Structure 1
Amino acid sequence: MLEKYGSADDLRLTDVPDPKVAPGEVLIRVKAAGVNPVDWKVAAGYLDPIMEVGFPLIPGWDVAGVVEAVGLDVPEYQVGDEVFGYVRKDWVQQGAYAELVAAPVRSVARKPAALSWEEAAGVPLAGLTAYQSVQRAGVRAGETVLVHAASGGVGAFAVQILVDLGARVIGTASERNHEFLRGLGAEPVTYGDGLEDRVRELAPQGVDAALDFVGGGVVDLSQALLKQRERMVSIADQAAVEQGGHSLWVRPDPEDLAELARLADAGKLKVNVERTFPLAEAADAWRLNQEGRTRGKIVLTV
């Protein structure tokens, strides 16, 4: 937890009272918690202009665990159910980096049986971001989709979701990640200068949709390749909206989570957990995440 806005150096492992379980919530005994860039960005105060943050702050939105107790009017779950979720409430304070977290039922779904606790904890935020981006772009079978940062945490999920839909995927990545993308079913291209020409070699008529998971000016390039300007979705650049496309901020959605679980249980959604840390070493997990060089998910075990 943190007593005020700060960095990994300010994280402390300490005891706090068990969270209260409000009506419409379940209390989850945490088995694993996913680490995402937004965790340390919230802690640093970067999202203060748009989000209410309370202190002391327990970070973390991604969780996998077992229902310990249920609040009033929760017919969906009972004690002992295995769940996973993107536990983002209306304010940020009592997060998933803990032994127990209270989660609204709108933020959780039943854990996919095919995934370990660590794998399941790596899915919610990134998986929902990918799934909702694909839905927002209106992708259909047979279409060609350009995915920027396709080997990243969100991009790798998007590639697998698109392949399951029957779409053709062209994914940008560094050369060291090309074989990884081929294994997911994408056609890799190296990002950087000349990217538009490299994409046109694969898709001379352009692409049907583009998903931006990296920012850094790829919206202009994508619009030059798109057949329809509104088929652009970005999670990193508001320029997408200015140019007729969409900006997406992931939302908790139990039906979307259940669809991700279905894909995982069907063997169509793999989760690459690059490294796990015990909860007491959350600061080290943040430092590794901040380097931005990991291909798979970073997960805390509780």
Structure 2
Amino acid sequence: MTMRAVSYAQFGGPEVLHVAADVPVPVPGPGQVRVRVAASAVHPVDLMIRDGRFPAPLPSGLPYVPGWDVAGTVDAVGTSVGNLAVGDEVVGFSHWLRTTVGAHAEYVALDAASLTAAPAGVPAIEAATLPTNGLAAAQALDLLSLPAGSSVLVTGAAGQVGGFALALARVAGLHATGVAAPGDREFVESQGAAFVPRSDGPLAVAAGSFDAVVDLALIGPSLLDLVRDGGGYVAASPPLRPEPVRGIRTLALEVEPDGTRLGELVKLVESGDIPLRVDGVYSFADAAAAHDRRAQGGVRGGVVLVP
């Protein structure tokens, strides 16, 4: 059996993407299920890898099928899977950098532990925007372990991860402040956060104002000045984690698949506490256009591919 998948056999611009029709349908191994994909989001890392700009070795060679997130339906179950069955609607993500198992395909086989039940009543196109970015936001805040009432500054606050971080901070009883472009003020404040406009120079914030910073925009070590002594700082990229100063814990985010944690986020989607935003929907045949859109600035929702 074969399937259709977005693929590329050489590094380059969006033009290298094509729809391959002869990709073998994966067979789920022990602990895995196969998901019939309904929707999958495009991430900046997909573009970086496709361009050949990713700064670390990849686990296998070309051709690649890209894609991390998946929303779809279980259609086959491997051995030693007790929590999912054929017909279950699920969401989850593939840790592509470890496995090169891409979700921009009609079917994908993933570890059952990385999946959870899809949010009830939510279209797959919206649900596909949750897994990687939602878990990134949740795991960033988990690293900080801030008690309720703490203050946290989130840069890149209007992006996908930033928006989830603001929502989760609100749910956790944190006092969040979001740094974003002036046009994003309404969204930031809609998540219960204070707003600080993005600036090419120092932010209009007093030194030591926050218990912690989640630096999704990769502004860098200058933000440590805004953290109180003994506070916390999370960098969105491990190589950019600054050295600790003044007792500040400096941490790095490396998002991991976690079906249990993702299930908690799904419940927050169902209760209306986490907003899901979609910027655009593209077919596999229009994958190059989806990559072009993802490359543009000001993307404020998921760029989603559907088979």
Q: State the TM bucket, normalised to the shorter chain.
A: over 0.9
Q: Distance in 2 between matches of 1:155 and 1:205?
A: 21
Please tell me whether residue 257 in structure 1 is matched to residue 258 in structure 2. Answer: no
Any conservation in 2 of the 1:28–1:65 contact (CA below 8 Å)?
yes
Check 1:254–1:287 CA distance in 2 against 1; reply closer, same or farther (3 A cut): same
Check 1:187–1:114 CA distance in 2 against 1; reply closer, same or farther (3 A cut): farther
Higher strand share: 2
TM (norm. structure 2) is 0.91
Which string of whole-angstrom CA distances, capped at 9 and with x for unpartnered residues, describes residues 59-103 of structure 1?
A: 001000000100111111100000001111574433111111111
SS at the partner of 1:285? helix
Which string of whole-angstrom CA distances, capped at 9 and with x for unpartnered residues, describes residues 265-286 of structure 1?
A: 1110111111111121111100
Match of 1:199 among 192, 205, 229: 205
Check 1:28–1:12 CA distance in 2 against 1; reply closer, same or farther (3 A cut): same
TM (norm. structure 1) is 0.93
Which string of whole-angstrom CA distances, capped at 9 and with x for unpartnered residues, describes residues 190-232 of structure 1?
A: 1115544x223xxx761011000011xx333321111145510
Q: Distance in 1 between matches of 2:141 and 2:276?
A: 18
What does residue range 109-124 of structure 1 map to in structure 2 within 5 Å? 109-124=116-131
What does residue range 43-122 of structure 1 map to in structure 2 within 5 Å? 43-47=50-54, 49-88=56-95, 91-122=98-129
Counterpart residue number, 1:179: 186
Q: Distance in 2 between matches of 1:220 and 1:36?
A: 25
Which string of whole-angstrom CA distances, capped at 9 and with x for unpartnered residues, describes residues 93-120 of structure 1?
A: 3311111111111221111114210111
Return 131-140 or 86-95, whichever deviates more: 86-95
Report the Cα offset of residue 48 of structure 1: 6.0
Match of 1:14 among 1, 4, 20: 20
Q: Which amino acid aligns with 1:152?
A: G
Any conservation in 1 of the 2:96–2:102 contact (CA below 8 Å)?
no
Which string of whole-angstrom CA distances, capped at 9 and with x for unpartnered residues, describes residues 219-247 of structure 1?
A: 33321111145510011363434235011
Question: Which ranges in structure 1 are unaligned for 5 or more consecutive residues?
Answer: none
Any conservation in 1 of the 2:208–2:225 contact (CA below 8 Å)?
no
What does residue range 1-302 of structure 1 map to in structure 2 within 5 Å? 1-15=7-21, 16-47=23-54, 49-88=56-95, 91-193=98-200, 195-196=202-203, 198-200=204-206, 206-215=209-218, 218-229=219-230, 231-236=232-237, 238-243=239-244, 244-302=249-307
Q: Distance in 2 between matches of 1:123 and 1:193?
A: 30
- Find runs of 4+ consecutive structure 1 residues off by over 6 angstroms: none
SS at the partner of 2:187? helix
Q: How many residues align?
A: 296
SS at the partner of 2:139? helix
Check 1:193–1:43 CA distance in 2 against 1; reply closer, same or farther (3 A cut): closer
Q: Percent identity?
A: 34
Higher helix share: 1
Q: Distance in 1 between matches of 2:24 and 2:260?
A: 31
Q: Which amino acid aligns with 1:29?
A: R
Question: Which ranges in structure 2 are unaligned for 5 or more consecutive residues?
Answer: 1-6
